[in-house]
Amino acid sequence: MWESDSQPFEVISEDNYFNELNVAATPYLFSVVPAATNATESQIVDLAAVKSATVDVLETHQIVARDIHRNLKQDQLDVFEVTLTKNDDASVQVIASVTSPQDSIYTIEYTLTKAGTYSMEVLAFVDGEWQHCFDSNTQVTC
């Protein structure tokens, strides 16, 4: 979508979304709208901290949502799902709470109740399907 003082607001065809423009030469103002969230480019901010947790302590981490061009997302409409599964007992699963306190930043919160090693899987819902973002093994101590 774009608009300028001399042209009415209009929706640009999807074919033209990501074409390069010579922005230095254009007299028109325009807004850049990030592409859909890209699961591969989205990342956990504190990756080292995800590697360990303490039983019965609330763990908090952040995901930064980015598009395929590594632009930060400008909305809070993305859907992320985070699941932790105990490696030696798949029946022990924890679904993390994921909230969006600000544009492009999503907060993950969870509390593990049993010591052991867990696998963390982060999925993003993009273009009508779940896409794999991230896996990590988390060592939980008592």
pLDDT of 142 reads 38
In a domain, 32, yes or no: no
Whether pLDDT at 11 is above 80: no
In a domain, 101, yes or no: yes
In a domain, 19, yes or no: no
Give 36's strand partners: none
Q: Pick the more confident residue, 58 or 19.
A: 58
pLDDT digits (tens, 9 = 90+) for 30-73: 666 777 788 878 888 887 778 888 899 999 999 888 888 888 87
CA dihedral 23, 103, 67, 29 (to 10 degrees): -10
pLDDT digits (tens, 9 = 90+) for 85-134: 999 999 999 999 999 877 788 999 999 999 998 988 889 888 788 888 87
Name the DSSP letter for residue 10.
B
Structure tokens at 129: 């399907």
In a domain, 49, yes or no: yes
In a domain, 21, yes or no: no
In a domain, 54, yes or no: yes
In a domain, 109, yes or no: yes
Provide the CATH number for the domain around residue 128: 2.60.40.10
pLDDT band per the 50, 70, 90 thresholds, residue 21 = low
Query: What is the edge-to-edge ordering of all strands in the sheet holding 93-95?
Result: 52-54, 129-141, 116-126, 79-86, 93-95
**Residue in this structure with the two tokens 């924890």, named with its chain if needed:** 94
The total domain count for the chain is: 1
In a domain, 102, yes or no: yes
86 neighbors 92 (Cβ within 8 angstroms): yes
pLDDT of 83 reads 93
Domain residues for the domain of 119 are 43-141
